[in-house]
Amino acid sequence: VLSEAADDINVEAYVIGGFVRDFFLKRGKAEDIDVVAVGSGIELAKKVSEKLPGKPPVKVFKTYGTAMLKIFDLEVEFVGARKESYTENSRNPEVEQGTLADDQNRRDFTINALALQLNKKDFGKLLDPFKGLEDLKTQLIKTPLDPEVTFSDDPLRMIRAIRFASQLHFKIDQKSIQAIKDHAERIDIVSKERIVTELNKILESEKPSVGFKLLHDTELLQRILPELTHLEGIDEIDGQKHKDNFWHTLEVVDNISLETKDVWLRWAALLHDIGKAPTKRFHKKIGWTFHGHEFKGSKMVYQLFKRLKLPLNDKMKLVQKLVLLSSRPIAIVDDDVTDSAVRRLIFDAGDHLDDLMMLCEADITTKNPNRYKKYHNNFKVVRNRIQE
């Protein structure tokens, strides 16, 4: 249908972007397809709709000159090929009509610039001016143009590079890494909503620490989640040390990701220790303490969600609750399991007892085998008491 419609109105049309990338990677089921028309994307969308049974409605986004059509459960987005030049503050790109090559030039990565021709004459022909297919094979995230240009056109792409590296287990080209390090501050002009979309995708990847480590190494993390980077480092006084709570946190996130795909539980793991930076104290007699870090942490969750424009809803409350209670089961284990402590835990955790127990088990990252064994055995005892 797409092919016929494009030929009918005599425009060149291509499938481009994520669909083509995932097609070559044999990755998952596509939910959306991007179609580029060398001409009017809106006109092509209307023609396609005419040819479909029931003529589904075309949603037109006038300001962007794009159109959307739902074909069964596939969302197809139609855009005219463009040549974009972004203004300094990058919010309002000036858009003019361009060729397919112009459109491929302005895309984020070589693997996302692959295009497949739709017109009958050359149906299925791959247009790959930046050797994106080779980068797919060698598993490399690389910008089509100089990374300085691609990243300054849209600084969100710095995080997107890391998101794709984390999702696909790809490496990022060294020049791109350097460009991110050199201009991490550019992320400050990007909207929080767009940043959060990418952060969620990193958190949803198989091993989120891959993405967070890259965010850390490129110094993007201290700009978007300073609460986390404040946890980094080990202080030593009178020969007493505490653990590095930043690297510990990444381990906990990976551990919980083996157990659940729920992104909010992964957020809880990411934030479970954030109260430790502001509550850290050293006492001559007892050493390092983080008294009240759970209370502080759960307040910080609210502030952080608000700053990132994440919804302040039940999911936020769930994260707050898990942060607030995160060290309770471990404390019960440490002080020997008493019935009253278990009863109180059951009461306070309410509907989220299983989530809390999962988080706490993920939190046990001690390398000391005796301690590790003790925790696991005692956790079993707590679980049994809960079930009784």
Give contact residues for ligand CTP (rule: CB under 6 A): 17-18, 34, 107-108, 112, 154, 156-157, 160
Rounded to a whole number of angstroms, the minimum distance from the CB of residue 135 to ligand CTP is 13
> Cβ closer to ligand CTP: 157 or 352?
157
Rounded to a whole number of angstroms, the minimum distance from the CB of residue 62 to ligand CTP is 20
Check if the beta carbon of residue 189 is closer than 8 Å to that of residue 233: no
> Cβ closer to ligand CTP: 20 or 265?
20
> Cβ closer to ligand CTP: 74 or 331?
74
> Cβ closer to ligand CTP: 108 or 294?
108
Token duo for residue 24: 């070559």
Spatial strand order of the sheet with 58-61 comes to: 58-61, 66-71, 74-80, 32-38, 12-16, 115-117, 126-127
Provide the pairing of β-strand 240-241 with 236-237. antiparallel
Q: CB nearest ligand CTP: which residue?
A: 18
Check if the beta carbon of residue 170 is closer than 8 Å to that of residue 215: no
Rounded to a whole number of angstroms, the minimum distance from the CB of residue 157 to ligand CTP is 5
Identify residue 50 by its one-letter amino acid code. Answer: E
Rounded to a whole number of angstroms, the minimum distance from the CB of residue 33 to ligand CTP is 9
Rounded to a whole number of angstroms, the minimum distance from the CB of residue 16 to ligand CTP is 6
CA nearest neighbour of 382 among 365, 368, 364: 364
Check if the beta carbon of residue 189 is closer than 8 Å to that of residue 155: yes
> Cβ closer to ligand CTP: 84 or 262?
84
Rounded to a whole number of angstroms, the minimum distance from the CB of residue 104 to ligand CTP is 9
Please tell me the distance from the alpha carbon of residue 162 to that of residue 156, in angstroms, as a whole number. Answer: 10
The distance in angstroms from the start CA to the end CA of the chain is: 61
> Cβ closer to ligand CTP: 21 or 47?
21
